[in-house]
Chain A
Amino acid sequence: MKRLFLFFAAFALCLLSSCSSHLERVKPFERGNLAHPLMRPDRDSLLTAMTMHAYFSREASFGGGGVGGGGCGCN
């Protein structure tokens, strides 16, 4: 019984360790579409301005969209 348990434990370990490599990940050489300028979130300045306005009108969700500043709200 103990042997059987050890066998299934080893099987589960092998199976799970294989799982991680079988996940579908976008490889670096497959990122052509992701690198397209259309994929930029700030590609349309008007859309960005409207989005920021929508965030501003809901005060709690305003800010934190840029990388400048430390998120202290002092800028």
Chain B
Amino acid sequence: MKHLIKIISVICLSLSIHALAAEPTVGSTLPKLSELLPGAALPKTTGKVVLVDFWASWCAPCKASFTTMAKLHDKYAAQGLVIIGIGVDEEADKYQAFAAKHPVGFTLVHDAKQTAAAFFNPPTMPTSYLIDRSGKIQHIHKGFKGAKTEAEYIHEIEELLRQ
């Protein structure tokens, strides 16, 4: 009986731990993207303000957000902002077609196996994570609401760049 209770306890604990395994939130450290996106050409992010954006070719607000991201890159890249757009399309040709149709100055990488997406578990598309110079996630943007989100980005990025 004691053995049975022990076995059940272990199963129970492992299930609960699995249930508690959480995605990155505000305050948590940005995981190593090179491990989540093996083989992807990623820019150096040490000591930089980083904006990690999850997008997909089939997502209309993602398309709208690209203009804003490009603007932010042009304005703040010299001051230390790095934008990484992670495309989560399952089909490589759709990712490439979208990237070719929307040429931007910032880095685009393809999360072909959706490993990074599964780890971050973005609650909606697009979702972006704004990370400070120490590597901690400071803001999470769920969705893209045009000028409102753009104004929020500008305010938060300028604040983080000053730190």
Contact = CB atoms under 8 A, between A and B. Distances in A.
Contact of A7 (B5, B56, B89): B5
Contact of B8 (A11, A17, A27, A32): A11
A40 interface: no
B12 interface: yes
B123 interface: yes
B163 interface: no
Contacts, number: 50
Q: Indicate the member of A10, A11, A22, A36 with the most B CB atoms within 10 Å.
A: A11
B148 interface: no
A24 interface: no
A10 B13 CA distance: 11
A35 B58 contact: yes
Contacts of A32: 56-58, 89-91, 94
B129 interface: no
Interface in A1-34: 7, 10-11, 14-15, 17-18, 20-22, 27-32
Contacts of B122: 28-29
Given A7-B5, A35-B59, A29 B117 contact: yes
Interface string B59-79: 100000000000000000000
Question: How many interface residues does chain B have, given as a range?
Answer: 20 to 34
Nearest to A32: B58
B19 A28 contact: no
A14 B117 contact: no
29 contacts: A7-B5, A11-B8, A11-B9, A14-B12, A14-B13, A15-B12, A17-B16, A17-B19, A18-B18, A18-B19, A20-B19, A21-B19, A22-B19, A27-B118, A27-B121, A28-B123, A28-B127, A29-B54, A29-B114, A29-B122, A29-B125, A30-B114, A31-B58, A32-B57, A32-B58, A32-B89, A32-B94, A35-B58, A35-B59
Interface of A: 7, 10-11, 14-15, 17-18, 20-22, 27-32, 35-36
